[in-house]
C-alpha cells in the first residue's frame, strides 16, 4: 500500500521544500529539524493504522473512556542518515523499541555499487509492527538488505517503510518485494542517475545532516 503525503497539501511540503533548497541546506540544524518534523508527521499518519483499545481515564471530575494504541512497535533505521527521521518518529511513538543498522554503499570503479551491512542491534520482532525508516529510497537495495538481516530476530506482523523522498523505481521494487508492506513518503521523484541518485532529490541526506564524509 502506497501512502504519498504530497498527494494532499500539508505543512510537510514546506519542510521538504526547505530540505531540497541549496540556499537553505547550509543550515544543518534546520535540515535535521525538518527531518524530525517529517518523522513526527509520518508517525502520526502511521498511527492511524494501529489497533486500538479502550481504557478508562480518571480525570479530576470523573471517568473518561479513551481509545489508545494497542500495538507493540519496533522502530528501525539505517545509520547515519536515518537518525533524525528515526527520532522524529520516536518523539510520537515514545514507547517503541528500537533497532539500528549500520550500512553503507561500497562503490566500484566500474560505476556499480553494493550495500554492505556491518552492524545490527535489534529486539525481538515476533508479532510486532515494524517501522523501518530511511530518508531516501532510491533502488530499495538498502531496505532489502536490512530486512533480510532482520529475519534472524523474529517475524513481524506488519511492516511500514517510511521515507522522505522515494524514486519511482524504488517504489516499484518495494511493491514487488514486499507487496503487503505500507510504503510512506512525502514525495516521489521520477528519475535515478546512472549512480542511483534520486533526481531532483536533495543530495546526500547524511552529509547534509551531519557533515561530509572523509571518503565517499
pLDDT tens for residues 71-122?
A: 999 999 998 889 999 999 999 999 999 999 987 666 656 656 666 778 899 9
User: What does the mean pLDDT of the chain come to?
Assistant: 92
Query: Cβ(77)–Cβ(134) under 8 Å?
Result: yes
The C-alpha cell of 120 is what?
A: 545490527
Ordered domains of the chain (ranges, CATH): 2-50+69-210 (3.40.50.2020)
Query: Cβ(203)–Cβ(212) under 8 Å?
Result: no
pLDDT tens per residue across span 140-166: 988 999 999 999 999 999 999 999 999
Dmax over CA atoms of the chain, in Å, equals 71
Angle, helix 83-92 to helix 28-47, in steps of 10 degrees: 40
Q: Is the pLDDT of residue 15 over 90?
A: yes
Rounded to 5 degrees, φ, ψ at 192 are: -120, 135
**DSSP string of 137-197?**
ESSSHHHHHHHHHHGGG---SEEEEE-SEEEHHHHHHHHHH-TTSEEEESEEE-EE-TT--
User: Distance between CA atoms of 1 and 135, rounded to whole angstroms?
Assistant: 18
Amino acid at each position: 500500500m502506497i501512502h504519498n503525503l504530497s498527494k494532499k497539501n500539508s505543512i510537510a511540503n514546506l519542510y521538504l521544500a526547505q530540505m531540497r533548497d541549496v540556499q537553505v541546506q547550509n543550515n544543518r540544524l534546520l535540515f535535521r529539524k525538518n527531518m524530525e518534523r517529517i518523522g513526527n508527521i509520518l508517525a502520526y499518519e502511521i498511527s492511524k493504522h494501529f489497533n486500538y483499545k479502550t481504557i478508562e481515564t480518571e480525570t479530576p471530575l470523573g471517568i473518561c473512556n479513551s481509545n489508545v494504541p494497542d500495538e507493540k512497535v519496533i522502530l528501525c533505521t539505517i545509520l547515519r542518515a536515518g537518525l533524525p527521521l528515526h527520532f522524529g518518529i520516536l518523539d510520537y511513538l515514545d514507547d517503541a523499541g528500537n533497532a539500528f543498522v549500520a550500512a553503507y554503499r561500497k562503490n566500484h570503479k566500474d560505476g556499480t555499487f553494493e550495500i554492505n551491512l556491518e552492524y545490527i542491534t535489534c529486539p525481538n520482532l515476533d508479532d510486532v509492527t515494524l517501522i523501518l525508516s530511511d530518508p531516501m529510497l532510491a533502488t530499495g537495495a538498502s531496505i532489502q538488505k536490512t530486512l533480510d538481516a532482520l529475519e534472524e530476530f523474529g517475524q513481524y506482523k506488519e511492516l511500514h517503510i517510511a521515507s522522505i523522498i522515494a524514486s519511482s523505481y524504488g517504489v516499484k521494487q518495494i511493491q514487488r518485494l514486499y507487496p503487503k508492506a505500507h510504503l510512506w513518503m512525502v514525495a516521489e521523484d521520477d528519475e535515478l542517475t546512472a549512480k542511483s541518485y534520486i533526481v531532483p532529490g536533495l543530495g546526500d541526506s547524511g552529509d547534509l545532516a551531519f557533515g561530509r564524509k572523509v571518503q565517499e
